[in-house]
A and B are shown apart, each in its own frame.
Chain A
């Protein structure tokens, strides 16, 4: 690679970029560091607070409690299954719809858009949704994680914004070669939109991973429960002690809530952060190059 001489401007921009990012990094990362060291600290000792740089009384007890939790492994598995299947399905459905909506010749386009916009803000509420799901036999069914969230208009709009930027010549040359819409979608549009596909996949995936709303209302079978619900239960254990103390009297409360909460947070956040390198791989420049020439 030839060495390009860096201008003064280049250097200045580089340095300020690094500095600013560094400041933001410290500000955002420190609280997480605080959470980490507190989770690695003995619960009772952590109750006195003021642990800022390293654990005062190192203890893996909090994490032990997390991993001893019943159904943790099935919960992990369920969350993973839900995230993978749900993300794939949702991205597919949403992207397809977005593609369709960017074509000017789509019949009833305005109607579809209107329908979609309304759903962003209006909802019948929990009880009617439960009712519908019940009728469709989706309660206590893995599919309840997948089907209702197949389409989110917000993500659709983001896809649309990207697809609009793609040059029209691509389509034209493909049509001329006899391709139909599905072919264009899968062979041309998606490969060129990897950054946005990766991003939306990340959004959808994170939602699936962290969601505790669906499993808490629509699933009662333990083996289908996902990680967030199981982790919340763990915090309940601690709180239960405090509640019961009111009525049983005669025992000391061992406050481990906060450090336990931090430990559960780490267990749930870690898998997502491990996904990052995968996603970043798609944030690569120049995917558009060569396609027009081809």
Chain B
């Protein structure tokens, strides 16, 4: 290459680099100030809301076509706004959603967006996602109150009252709308329809044929359960006595996760991760219920009824083994509690009645949250859109479907009819939906856009007080379920000093719990347990508890 060519290209390089650096520094100036997006002027449509008794969405906000970009921080999110339900929503509101999501769940994409302050029009993420906290701190979101009061005041009547009361940030404003809140309104409705217990209720199941073989003895409390398992195991040495799926505890992000204290026993022993004692929050690891859990598991393991499989196998392998009939008894949910084992198609697993110690505490605090960043291109339309989705009419389009009496098919419906003032799915439709959930979803798009789902209206159509199976389950379990919203949202920020301590304690726990469960006898197990608590205290467990208490007090002071 000629000398001249070389120096020319060197010059080019230099120029390029200088140019880039110049661009960098100018961008930096902009990055500092967050541009306040245009706050709309007083909109005439809001004043048209003289709707005392009318369905809230009946006012006419603009239905001009507009496309909003929505980033969903879940890699498994499957929606793409291309089905009939989406089309209906677009027809009604003019809004089209362009949905993007990351490929992996390690927050990298979110980090990139945050650091460049380039957020999409909507952001949907887990309500406890630390990214949400970052966005609030960085003053990047509209507060819901502001937008609702300006453009969509009807929303206050539509949302469950907890939505705008329980999710306030430290400045007293709510920045994200949470879905699936199970508040007072919901609990009442659910109890009325025997639907407090759904197919996702955690429970244990036992193999019917083996149980009958030994004469169906009582298994309603831990000791008799263990005795029965022993009898069965004697006849079927190659089967796993008690099998559960608890392989992810080392990856827990917070010490307040229930999996840490239940260790795979789900709700059977009523162990809670956070325990309230005289106004302060303590870790469930110190509680008596937790000690019962480890004693029980240790007993099972010393009798050869619990194998390491429960703490190693992935979910897929867990399901494989259950379907194969490799377990005498397993812990899963009601929906998956009646599998047919492959080695004996004439029998099935049955759902066991809960032990007296069974307790499930739900905080009813919902699941995902949707936020409107200040970079949103049209906040007025945005909040009106959310208002529509949150309304009953919105739920009709996203969940209920078409009203009618005689079922035709999944695409045209009809899907539901009104029974005693409540929308109820036609049994034919519901059966088909159960058989092929995603296939049907593709055909009609129902049940897929749960962005701002109101649990009462969302789950409502599925409740059929007449369903005998669920009436039975509700009788079995309903008394053991409690709601405690006060303990919702007590999560520490992982980037703070106390968050780091929390992670260290989780890692310490990881190195202990398997040894405790599989210790050679109860005495050794409890010794190891005491050792763990001692070391955890040294690392700062009490400080973690104090941090939890502070958050608890702050949240409940606002009420």
Q: Do chains A and B touch in the complex (CB under 8 A)?
A: yes
Once the chains bind, are B116 and A134 in contact (CB under 8 Å)? Answer: yes
Contact: A253 with B100, CB < 8 Å? Answer: no
Cα distance, A258 to B313, chains bound together (Å): 14
Q: Bound complex: CA of A248 vs CA of B74, how far in Å?
A: 17
- Does A273 lie at the interface of the complex (its beta carbon under 8 Å from any beta carbon of B)? no
Contact at A239–B76, with CB atoms within 8 Å?
Answer: yes
A246 touches which of B76, B100, B200 (Cβ 8 Å): B200
Name the residue of chain B whose CB is nearest to the CB of A220. Answer: B100
Nearest-CB distance from A71 to chain B (Å)?
A: 9
Q: Is the CB of A70 within 8 A of B82?
A: yes
Which of A131, A212, A241, A252 touches B103 (beta carbons < 8 Å)?
A212
CB within 8 Å for A255 and B316 given contacts A216-B102, A239-B76: yes
Chain B residues numbered 481-506 whose CB sits less than 8 Å from any CB in chain A? none
Interface size for chain B: under 10, 10 to 19, 20 to 34, or 35 or more residues?
A: 35 or more
Residue contact A50 to B324, C-beta cutoff 8 Å: yes
Which one of A49, A135, A216 contacts B324 once the chains associate, using CB atoms below 8 Å? Answer: A49
Partner of A135, one of B27, B198, B201, B434: B27
Residue of A nearest to B447 (CB): A248
Binds A, one of B105-113, B273-281, B369-377, B388-396: B105-113
Decide: B78 and A233 in contact? CB cutoff 8 A: yes
Q: Does A21 contact B (CB under 8 A)?
A: no
> How far apart sit A258 and B458, CA to CA, in the bound complex (Å)?
30
Are A250 and B459 in contact, with the CB atoms below 8 A?
A: yes
Bound: A209/B198 CA distance, A: 44
Within 8 A of B (CB), among A196-254: 212, 216-217, 220, 229, 232-233, 236-254
| A243–B198 CB distance below 8 A | no
Q: Are A258 and B78 in contact (CB under 8 A)?
A: no
Q: Chain B's nearest CB lies how many Å from the CB of A106?
A: 10
**B121 on interface, CB distance cutoff 8 Å:** no
Given contacts A130-B116, A251-B433, contact A237 B324 (CB under 8 A): no
Q: How far is the CB of A151 from chain B (nearest CB, A)?
A: 14
From A127, A181, A249, A257, B112 is in contact (CB under 8 Å) with: A127
Contact residues of A between 125 and 160, Cβ < 8 Å to B: 126-127, 130-132, 134-136
In this complex, the member of A47, A229, A243, A258 whose beta carbon has the largest number of chain B beta carbons within 10 angstroms is: A47
**C-alpha spacing A241/B200, complex, angstroms:** 13
Q: Give residues of chain B (279-337) contacting chain A, Cβ–Cβ below 8 Å.
A: 315-317, 319-321, 323-324, 333, 335-336
Q: Does A48 contact B (CB under 8 A)?
A: yes
What is the CA–CA distance of A220 and B321 in the complex, to the nearest angstrom?
40
A35 to B330, CA, bound (A): 28
Chain B, range 253-278, C-beta contacts under 8 Å to A: none
Chain A proximity mask over B458-487: 1 for CB below 8 Å, otherwise 0: 110010000000000000000000000000
Name A239's closest neighbour in chain B (CB-CB): B76
On chain B, the residues within 8 Å of A243 by CB distance are 74, 76
Q: Which of B23, B103, B321, B336 contacts A253 (CB 8 A)?
A: B336
A278 to B23 Cα, complex, angstroms:
45
Tell me the residues in window 97-127 of chain B with beta carbons closer than 8 Å to chain A beta carbons.
100, 102-104, 108-109, 111-112, 115-116
Complex: how many Å from CA A258 to CA B323? 14
Complex contact B20–A132 (CB within 8 A) = yes
Question: Are A216 and B103 in touch, CB under 8 angstroms?
Answer: yes
For B438, list chain A residues within 8 Å (CB): 237-238, 241, 254
A256 to B, closest residue via Cβ: B438
A130 and B317 alpha carbons, distance in the complex (Å): 38
Which one of B23, B77, B317, B458 has the highest number of Cβ atoms from chain A below 10 Å of its Cβ? B77
The answer to whether A217 and B108 have CB atoms under 8 Å apart is: yes
Contact partner, A237, options B78, B103, B459, Cβ 8 Å: B78
Q: Tell me which residues across on chain B come within 8 A of A246, comparing CB atoms.
A: 200, 367
Q: Given the known A-B contacts A229-B103, A237-B438, A247-B180, are A126 and B76 also in contact in the complex, defined by CB atoms under 8 Å?
A: no
Chain B's closest residue to A212 (CB) is: B103
A238: chain B residues at CB < 8 Å are: 438
In contact, A240 and B77 (Cβ under 8 angstroms): yes
Min CB distance, A178 to chain B, in Å? 16
Contacts of B433 in A (CB 8 A): 251
B335 touches A48 (CB 8 A): no
Alpha-carbon separation in the docked complex, A130 to B115 (Å): 10
* Complex A-B, nearest 8 residue pairs according to Cβ-Cβ distance, in ascending order: A249-B198, A216-B103, A49-B320, A48-B323, A239-B76, A240-B78, A236-B76, A249-B200
A-side residues, CB < 8 A to B, are 47-50, 70, 126-127, 130-132, 134-136, 181, 212, 216-217, 220, 229, 232-233, 236-255, 257-258
Residue pairs across A and B with Cβ atoms less than 8 A apart, 11 shown, are A70-B82, A126-B111, A216-B102, A216-B104, A237-B78, A245-B200, A245-B335, A248-B458, A249-B200, A250-B462, A258-B316
Interface residues of B (CB under 8 A from A): 1, 20, 23-24, 27, 74-78, 80, 82, 100, 102-104, 108-109, 111-112, 115-116, 180, 198-201, 315-317, 319-321, 323-324, 333, 335-336, 342, 367, 433-438, 447, 450, 458-459, 462
